[in-house]
Structure 1
Amino acid sequence: MKQFATWMCVGLMTLGTVSQAVAQDKAKLDERLTNSKNVLDEIMATPDKAIPNQILSQAKCVVVIPAYKKGAFVVGAQYGKGVATCRTPKGWSAPVFVKLTGGSFGFQIGGQSTDLVLVATNQGGLQHMLQNKFKIGGDAAASAGPVGRNAQAGTDWKLNAEFLTWSRSKGLFAGIDLDGTVLDDDSDDMRGFYGADQPFKTVLTGGVPTPDAAKPFVRTVAKYFVATK
């Protein structure tokens, strides 16, 4: 009887530890959504340096990789996590969790934290997003995005670029070359947030309701990325 009671105590303690770990992971994902919302709010609060209106209205998907603490990016081995949403006939989709890896785009250990924003500008970019994983500059053509609410893109992004990319560091928001990086789904975080495996395509095409914790982020994207009537 004593042995049974001991095993019961061990089991309950283990269950409590697992539950606490799950709660902590969920809190981190909620925080990432909040940070992504804040990145967009702060960028769009400066019209002369924000994403141009023309791009906002034509965007098919939006990816935000919020800042990490110093040392999170290493030259030749960058790694960042973020969230993405795509435009659907009923509005912007529930978010998916993504990770950006590879490339050598200039960040260094001990350097300033950096925010990244990627915008899919056409159907080609949308289709790449639905594939779960693709290489920027390889599978999907990309260009450094222009800034300024009324700025005109100085490239042929309308014809060729499937993604426009930006970075923000030390308050400076500017286009960036992310060629060589790989955007991939983060299946562990998807399970942690949704409680089960959710296919990227199902979520990004509007097949999954937006959880309450994600609504502020999705509403913020909808606020700024308004389609031209």
Structure 2
Amino acid sequence: MKVTAITLMLAGLSTTLLGDNSDVDRLKTSGEVLQEIMNARDKGIPSDLLHKAYCAVVIPNLLKGGFIVSAKYGRGYASCRKADGGWSDPAGMRIEGAGFGLQAGGSATDLVLLVMSKRGMNGMLASKFTLGGEASAAAGPVGRDTTAQTDATMRADILSWSRSRGVFAGVSLQGGTLRPDNDANRAIYGGGVTSAEILRNEVNRPVAANDLTPALNRYAGPRQEK
């Protein structure tokens, strides 16, 4: 019964997202979300973490359905470091997860994930991986720097944050799954282009992909070693 409820919930959320946002609009929104968060100064992502990250993922408008089953589903875009230290073109990604608990209805939330290790990056380039499974995950710190953070947080493969109703904070996404969004890649790039090919800079950038990557290059230049 619980499995059936989760399946139906995720199917409903998927239909909603596909109907309300085109892939191009979602890509533009992803860039806007990142800029708004980074412009928050003392309430955003520490800039030193963004400079050290191997990849970044932005999921605008993740939905969380409520009542007995809490299901989460979102679509967004990822970008990874190129050989020259800049950022790759954006590749479509999906995040999915489900947990049980009482929820009073659904809410929309923006998510940002930073991949802080090669293991996390390699996991994201695979077909699918679980946060907290193949790659360790932790709630990311908020503020100007990371000097007061615990070793456990700073050793995580992936750090994550959420923004809901104007409130920005670190959030744990343990148990969620991240995988390529082939439908989005097809809509933006055409053909059978894969997320791995895009993130490895093996395809030409279309005009529609000129939103998220410039924002990353603006706020985080060449990668800094830890």
TM-score of Structure 1 vs Structure 2, range by shorter chain: 0.7 to 0.9
Look up the SS of the partner of 1:132 in the other structure: coil
Map of 1:64 onto structure 2: 58
Q: Cα–Cα, structure 1 residues 137 and 101, in superposed 2: closer, same or farther, change >3 Å? A: same
Q: Cα–Cα, structure 1 residues 103 and 193, in superposed 2: closer, same or farther, change >3 Å? A: same
State the distance in 1 between where 2:201 and 2:71 align: 33
Q: CA deviation at 1:159?
A: 6.2
Unaligned runs of 5+ in 1: 1-23
Q: CA deviation at 1:96?
A: 0.9
Instruction: Name the % identity.
Output: 42
Greater mean deviation of Cα atoms: 103-112 or 53-62: 103-112
2:97 counterpart letter in structure 1:
G
1:77 aligns with 2:71: yes
Computing the radius of gyration from Cα coordinates, the structure with the larger value is 1
Deviations 1:117-173 (A, max 9, x none): 000012111111111310001111011000112233522257631100100111111
Q: Cα–Cα, structure 1 residues 200 and 115, in superposed 2: closer, same or farther, change >3 Å? A: same
Map of 2:33 onto structure 1: 39
| 1:12-27 equivalence runs, <5 A | none
| 1:109-120 equivalence runs, <5 A | 110-120=105-115
1:168 aligns with 2:163: yes
Q: Cα–Cα, structure 1 residues 142 and 110, in superposed 2: closer, same or farther, change >3 Å? A: same
Greater mean deviation of Cα atoms: 210-219 or 97-106: 97-106
Contact 1:112 1:170 in 2 (8 A): no
Contact 1:105 1:177 in 2 (8 A): no
Deviations 1:170-206 (A, max 9, x none): 1111110100100011112221221111122211111
Q: Please, what TM-score do these two structures have when normalized by structure 1? A: 0.80
Unaligned runs of 5+ in 2: 1-17
Map of 2:15 onto structure 1: none
Look up the SS of the partner of 1:119 in the other structure: strand
Contact 2:160 2:172 in 1 (8 A): yes
Q: Cα–Cα, structure 1 residues 159 and 51, in superposed 2: closer, same or farther, change >3 Å? A: closer
Deviations 1:3-44 (A, max 9, x none): xxxxxxxxxxxxxxxxxxxxx99x811100111111111111
Map of 2:116 onto structure 1: 121
Look up the SS of the partner of 1:77 in the other structure: strand
Look up the SS of the partner of 2:205 in the other structure: coil
Q: How many aligned positions are there?
A: 202
1:146 aligns with 2:137: no
Q: Please, what TM-score do these two structures have when normalized by structure 2? A: 0.81
RMSD (CA atoms) = 2.4
1:216 aligns with 2:211: yes
Q: Cα–Cα, structure 1 residues 166 and 153, in superposed 2: closer, same or farther, change >3 Å? A: farther
Contact 2:54 2:117 in 1 (8 A): yes
Contact 2:116 2:158 in 1 (8 A): yes
Contact 2:70 2:99 in 1 (8 A): yes
Contact 1:132 1:200 in 2 (8 A): no
Contact 1:105 1:178 in 2 (8 A): no
Q: Cα–Cα, structure 1 residues 165 and 77, in superposed 2: closer, same or farther, change >3 Å? A: same
Greater mean deviation of Cα atoms: 43-52 or 207-216: 207-216
State the distance in 1 between where 2:91 and 2:128 align: 12
Q: Cα–Cα, structure 1 residues 210 and 57, in superposed 2: closer, same or farther, change >3 Å? A: same
Greater mean deviation of Cα atoms: 38-47 or 219-228: 219-228
